[in-house]
Chains A and B, each alone.
Chain A
Amino acid sequence: MAGAALKAALKDGILGAVVAAALALPMLGFRLVDSASALTLATRFDWVAWAAAIVGLGRFALCLLRQSVPADRVPMMPDLGARFPKARLMVGWALAGFALVLPFLPFADRSLVDKATMVLIYVMLGWGLNIVVGLAGLLDLGFVAFYAVGAYSYALLATKLDLSFWLCLPMAGLFAASFGILLGFPVLRLRGDYLAIVTLGFGEIIRVILQNWVDFTNGPNGISGIPRPTLFGLQFTANAPEGKTTFADYFGLDFSGEHRVIFLYFVILALALLTNLFTLRIRRLPIGRAWEALREDEIACRSLGLNPTMIKLSAFATGAMFAGFAGSFFATRQGFISPESFTFIESAVILAIVVLGGMGSQIGVVLAALLLVGLPEWFRELQQYRMLAFGGTMVLIMLWKPSGLLSHRAPTIRLGKGAPS
């Protein structure tokens, strides 16, 4: 018995090592060295050996571990969300409270607030995509297209028509939502893999248009000099242009570049919380329930009298709208956008956030965004090993929580004992 287990683990370990070696050979085994005269090819097979050995041993140890404990006691992270439904609510409030005071904490310097802003953009995008993928069950691989539409809407409206951020924000959401409907129509009959392929194509089409319609979007050069947002007309600059007041003057503060960073942080925090509140609220409304029912079974939906066309289009439009909001925020924060920022990898990261968070879970999205966006930012000091840490985290999640960090879905309504009023 023990011998068989050992043999199986050994086999698994060797297989893992072979796969790792095959992958590592081209990636780690060869290196171009820039010597004085020309480029020369150097080898470092010791790295390949190390990679294979680490993966093989890891796999071997994991197999032994899994076999030595009974199946129901496999070391998996417990589903905390299911066990403590109340705690989950409290964690949500605690996170929101922490996010509110974060910029004023003693250790919060400019770069931390900046990183937190970045994470919040992805939290918001994750929550937006969660409506489409997590609630309505429509796999969308081109979500970044709506993000791009939002960003370009604001950038173009602001630079060409001189409209303010707060006016453009709802317009950007509206534009993105109409693009959501535009995408929705041709894919009404598609599901699963086919839907994913078409949405992937849609994302690329938008990016290619942005890249090539030079007259309108300035092509690959992007749009620069995008105006910064103001707080009721108060500027976040050292010196106000004529007829305007700066934030620092108005409140009698010394000018500091940090004000704007903190202001931007609060803008995205408000936008993200708005997205969250909206989602939590709409899950209890008929349209939100219809989204979830559509995810579960389309035929049953139709036989109960729900029109799948309307449900799908509204899900696409709503998700896209929030991406549009996030996009216009992104544009105003960066001050410069180009098609480069809206490549497929962005869609993939947002989708990864939703999936790792545990489809449909709001707090799960926050945790996953912290992990996938925050962690790599944190590990910038690790330089080239940054992506290794990223990959390692992904592997650990897949081992311990294959269905996502928080995959438990709480019903939106209860009857009888223990029902929240």
Chain B
Amino acid sequence: MLAVENLHSGYGRIQALHGVSVEVKKGEIVTLIGANGAGKTTLLMTICGSPRATKGRVLLDGQDITQLPMHKLAHLGLAHSPEGRRIFARMSVLENLQMGAVAGNPDHYDEDLDKVLTLFPRLKERINQRGGTLSGGEQQMLAIGRALMSRPRVLLLDEPSLGLAPLVVRHIFEMIKQINQEQGMTVFLVEQNAHHALKLAHRGYVLVNGRVTLTGTGAELLANPEIRAHYLEGGHGATA
């Protein structure tokens, strides 16, 4: 579905990605884990066309989308929930969701809205409230719900656990699983919270300094002693 081939990218003269290849198949949840500064967000943003890739390709269903500007991608079925949620703080929850439907088919609007509100009943309770007055977890739900409103083929999630309490994180991941299972949504999840992400994902990649060092199924990576040492022990794995 989504294939990243030998992608190079960076900011000015600083190169952040040194030939990253990732594949996400239809109906899969694939996660990319890595430490701060490994290039996780850069990879997602390069897939979205900003910064531009200096080498390599990004294919969506075989179509080369490497050089397309970000705003075209949503219309091709690639929804992106950016790092830090980036909801429209002064607009209401409903208005936020409406903005998500810009790239979607207007005929589906009511149905999609209904689907998102059933998935996140909390959003329904707060439908007329301003986005900025929601709690962090609710804002994350809104960001995911907004991305779903365009009925995407692939959902890119950038650190949905950022700054959230452990219980809320668990709930959000539960929802991602549900979206994947019930709607068959293909999800590419970039996470620092390796334990939760690997437990959820069918397959995973480990990114270190702009290179993929390890790959395997979620369970394999979770059992890998190297990963346990670097990303889990003493970190999120110990508490969850």
Partner-B contacts on A (CB < 8 A): 286, 289-290, 292-293, 295-297, 299-308, 409, 411-416
Contacts and interface: CB of A to CB of B under 8 A. Distances in A.
A306 B80 CA distance: 13
Contacts of B63: none
Given A305-B74, A305-B103, A308-B71, A299 B86 contact: yes
Contact of B127 (A289, A292, A307, A416): A416
Contacts of A295: 90
Nearest to A307: B71
B120 to A, nearest CB: 14
B65 interface: no
B146 A304 contact: yes
Contact of A290 (B69, B82, B94, B102): B102
Interface string B42-54: 0000001010000
B89 interface: yes
A292 B50 CA distance: 22
B25 interface: no
A301 B194 CA distance: 29
B80 A303 contact: yes
Contact of A304 (B69, B92, B100, B127): B100
Contacts of B75: 305
Contacts of B150: 304-305
A299 B41 CA distance: 13
What are the 9 closest A-B residue pairs judged by CB atoms, nearest first?
A305-B74, A305-B103, A296-B88, A411-B92, A300-B86, A303-B80, A302-B70, A307-B71, A297-B86
Contacts of B162: none
A292 B90 CA distance: 9
A235 B179 CA distance: 70
A304 B91 contact: no
A197 B98 CA distance: 34
B15 interface: no
A306 B102 contact: yes
B128 interface: yes
Contact of A416 (B88, B98, B128): B128
A296 B98 CA distance: 14
